Chain A
């Protein structure tokens, strides 16, 4: 009895002492985090509720409730930009998940020159984004760039050469493709790690039952890695809205407004027109949309994720 009491007292003592140490260890990070990460978020919400829509009015900051949000829903340009962002995300997420899974399946088996292939596949991930974008602009030049020169050589008639970044219809898918190219390494590496965790015995059992490669993929591999697939889809959807850099450098929203995704639209509203409050309402709305998509995925995971 006595022993237990003293033990628990000792525990409470460590608990308190550790609490103090923890406070010391975490405080610097926490303070900086609050100032530079959390504060801008709350400030964004605050700004979206006031009337700070031109530089002249800096000091009025009159509270106007959800008027900026109402404006967003009635602004066809804004809604168009959201839709464009969603379309872009859809193309990007589907493209990168399928391609990276394929790459991971290839890299997971015995291959000659595997290290060389792997390094080449991973390289775009670390290459400077702006440099890579400049290169793509030149490579995909629709009139005389190397890609279209090559297509011409293959016999594609001049009139039906793709316009890539300069075509009204093709600009957004091309941008999504370039983002896939650039980020492929991340998803591939995560898939590869998941594939390596699938127990070998499962495949051996299936082989004894006479299962072919396709059946093994459908019945064992895909279900076994489904938690990773789920994680990757969630993370990739969130990341897909982070495309400001690529779009800004590749097309600056053009041609016309073909690639004016929501983050570019927000930037323009704030910087070009000084609609700071409106821009922040749009940003908060974007966050809400992303949150809804993420929650929907969370709900849908029961249907296809096997833990």
Chain B
């Protein structure tokens, strides 16, 4: 037995075997990655084809000639970039409001001593268990009562008070050494100054994570505009794109071009800031 093992080791050196195993697994992982990208590959490919060729020549990934009409039609569309801009604007308004209100509340939960703190925090956490889609109808009726239907603030305002990020930021603030804020307290700093001068600057990674996630979630938000926005001009890219799909019916190539533009911003954002995403998800996951 021992001898056989040694014989084997003699025939194939351990290092070679390791390199072989790593190569095989690397190839397998890479292929899995490519499989994950399959829909996007077809999307890009079809968006550069005339509609007639999308299905006829479905497996030709690189089109014979680059057909740009689809993209020209997207640019000429009177509504597509209105929806695009709506989504961006809603995100740009939500982000600073959320960043401020959530981070200052998170600071209180992480650093201040007050009665009912744990109970209040537990209440916030408990609501995370309720699927937001289950409250679409009561929210619709409430917004209708206060005249927020067909108003983009119906999407912005509720998004500001987000419990997930309250939790994430609190976790992050708690990892900042207490000595720093205690020293500042002795020096006569108030909590507002500690929050803005010490804790926030030290929390850049968590804040960047929050900004990125917020942008992506708003960019991908569908139920809210679907329920609360009626006017075509006020729709976001998601609901707009679905309308676009219905309108173009069998023009698949054009739909693919529309989809491509809708995918681009977040994919680019993600590719360059992957580190923050991974950190954000990993910390919220492990400490949850």
Contact = CB atoms under 8 A, between A and B. Distances in A.
A128 B137 contact: no
B66 interface: no
B285 A193 contact: yes
B242 A103 contact: no
Given A131-B259, A193-B286, A287 B112 contact: no
Contacts of A28: 101, 104-105
A141 B55 contact: yes
B68 interface: no
Contacts of B134: 44, 241, 263, 266, 283-284, 286-287
A279 B39 contact: no
Contact of A128 (B124, B226, B256, B262): B262
Nearest to B30: A117
B118 to A, nearest CB: 13
Contact of A110 (B22, B55, B127, B190): B22
Interface in B124-159: 124, 127, 129-142, 157-158
A146 B59 contact: yes
Interface string A254-291: 00000000010011001000001001100110110011
A41 B136 CA distance: 10
A124 interface: yes
A242 B139 contact: no
> Which size class do B's interface residues fall under?
35 or more
B129 A244 contact: no
A205 interface: no
Contacts of B256: 134-135, 138
Interface string B1-44: 00000000000000000000011011011101110111110110
B54 to A, nearest CB: 7
B166 interface: yes
B134 to A, nearest CB: 4
Nearest to A235: B288
A106 B25 CA distance: 7
Nearest to A241: B131
A29 B160 CA distance: 8
Contacts, number: 286
Contacts of A130: 220, 222, 237-239, 241-242, 262
Interface stretch (B73-81, B202-210, B265-273): B265-273
A37 B138 contact: no
A136 B220 contact: no
Interface stretch (A72-80, A160-168, A181-189): A181-189
> Which size class do A's interface residues fall under?
35 or more
Contact of B285 (A19, A231, A276): A231
Contacts of A263: 131, 133-134
A116 B29 CA distance: 10
A121 interface: yes
Contacts of B133: 241-242, 244, 263
Question: Which of A26, A38, A123, A283 has most chain B Cβ within 10 Å?
Answer: A26
Given A33-B161, A37-B127, A126-B267, A134 B58 contact: no
Contact of B135 (A112, A132, A231, A283): A283
B91 to A, nearest CB: 13
B107 A25 contact: yes
Interface string A136-158: 10110101111001100100000
B39 A139 contact: yes
B25 A111 contact: yes
A135 B166 contact: no
Interface string A284-307: 101100110010000000000000
A193 B285 CA distance: 9
Contact of B113 (A15, A36, A103): A15
A41 B133 CA distance: 11
Contacts of B34: 120
A138 B36 contact: no
A40 B258 contact: no
Given A120-B34, A135-B259, A280 B25 contact: no
Given A32-B161, A43-B142, A145-B58, A121 B137 contact: no
A22 to B, nearest CB: 4
Given A189-B281, A286-B131, A41 B138 contact: yes
B36 A126 contact: no
Nearest to A279: B137
A186 B38 CA distance: 19
A192 interface: yes
Contacts of A222: none
B32 A103 contact: yes
Contacts of B127: 37-38, 41
B40 A123 contact: yes
B119 interface: no
Contacts of A189: 277-278, 281-282, 285
14 contacts: A21-B191, A22-B117, A40-B135, A40-B139, A41-B130, A113-B29, A126-B277, A127-B266, A128-B238, A130-B222, A134-B256, A242-B133, A249-B222, A291-B129
Interface of B: 22-23, 25-26, 28-30, 32-34, 36-40, 42-43, 46, 54-56, 58-59, 101-102, 104-105, 107-109, 112-115, 117, 120, 124, 127, 129-142, 157-158, 160-161, 163, 166, 190-192, 195, 216, 219-220, 222-223, 226, 237-239, 241-242, 245, 252, 255-256, 258-260, 262-263, 266-267, 269-271, 274, 277-278, 281-282, 285-286, 288
